[in-house]
Amino acid sequence: QKEVEQNSGPLSVPEGAIASLNCTYSDRGSQSFFWYRQYSGKSPELIMFIYSNGDKEDGRFTAQLNKASQYVSLLIRDSQPSDSATYLCAVTGDYKLSFGAGTTVTVRA
Amino acid sequence: DVKVTQSSRYLVKRTGEKVFLECVQDMDHENMFWYRQDPGLGLRLIYFSYDVKMKEKGDIPEGYSVSREKKERFSLILESASTNQTSMYLCASGSMNTEAFFGQGTRLTVV
């Protein structure tokens, strides 16, 4: 079993809709959880982090963490064409930072 | 401003060559990481280091080694390059359990 699994996608949503991205992780000792965005040909950049159970909102982005279910999600509200990218879920524990394979999102104008 | 710098953007090497990829960070981070990224496979961790001279294997260490003689520098070494090591290599640094910052990546082609 991979340490970090994401819904495979690709995900296509119309402009203005909500994009929902999911991620599960295998290590119950994981401590911090991140969502990175990666545009084609660029390096990943952090968009959200979450450490505690519950929701965390930042602008149009909401991260949700459920440690009991070992599940973390990202919602993108009012999706814009500029949100078209690959979204990577990342998890830390014992100094190690592990990533999922990523979900490619395309926002249709 | 945060800065992680990889020594080369593009590299072409021959099979069997010893290859060095260098990464330098200026944020005094304890942790540094080397990943490779291939289409459909995401970022796969090769090695990481949480202190000077300390190194830990990631998920795919075979065929690679690393060196961290100074806190700001983390080197990835391909002992004998092979064509299946053609990939995008990404270096990152960060503090304990906080976000990691990435370098610009090195696209390595082994011919």
Condensed to tens digits (0 to 9), the pLDDT of residues B70-101 reads 999 999 999 999 999 999 999 999 988 788 99
- The torsion defined by the Cα of B93, A33, A52 and A9, in degrees rounded to 10, comes to 160
A102 → closest Cβ in B42, B45, B98: B42
Phi (first) and psi of residue A77, to 5 degrees: -90, 155
Condensed to tens digits (0 to 9), the pLDDT of residues B14-58 reads 999 999 999 999 999 999 999 999 988 889 999 999 999 899 999
**Cβ–Cβ under 8 Å, residues B6 and B25:** no
Q: Across chain B, where does the E strand assignment appear?
A: 4-6, 10-13, 19-25, 31-38, 42-49, 56-57, 64-70, 73-78, 87-94, 100-102, 106-110
Q: What is the pLDDT of residue A1?
A: 61
Smallest CA–CA distance, residue A17 to chain B, in Å, is: 25
For A40-67, give the secondary structure using H, E and C. CCCCCEEEEEECCCEEEEECCEEEEEEC
- Strand, coil or helix: B83: helix
B31 → closest Cβ in A6, A43, A95: A95
- Tokens representing A34 are 């991140």
Per-residue pLDDT, averaged over A75-103, amounts to 93
Chain A residue numbers with beta carbons less than 8 Å from the beta carbon of B33 are: 97
**Cβ–Cβ under 8 Å, residues B32 and B92:** yes
CB atoms B48 and A97 under 8 Å:
yes
Q: What is the pLDDT of residue A78?
A: 98
Q: What is the pLDDT of residue A2?
A: 67
User: Most A CBs within 10 Å: which of B68, B99, B102, B106, as the mutation test of the A interface?
Assistant: B99
Chain B residue numbers with beta carbons less than 8 Å from the beta carbon of A90 are: 100
Chain A residue numbers with beta carbons less than 8 Å from the beta carbon of B96 are: 95
pLDDT(A23) > 80: yes
Question: Which residues make Cβ contacts (< 8 Å) with residue B54, sequence separation at least 6?
Answer: B68
As a whole number of angstroms, the distance between CA A39 and CA A58 comes to 20
Cβ-based contacts under 8 A for chains A and B: 53
A43 → closest Cβ in B59, B90, B98: B90
Smallest CA–CA distance, residue B19 to chain A, in Å, is: 22
Smallest CA–CA distance, residue B103 to chain A, in Å, is: 7
The model's confidence at residue A95, banded by pLDDT at 50, 70 and 90, is: confident
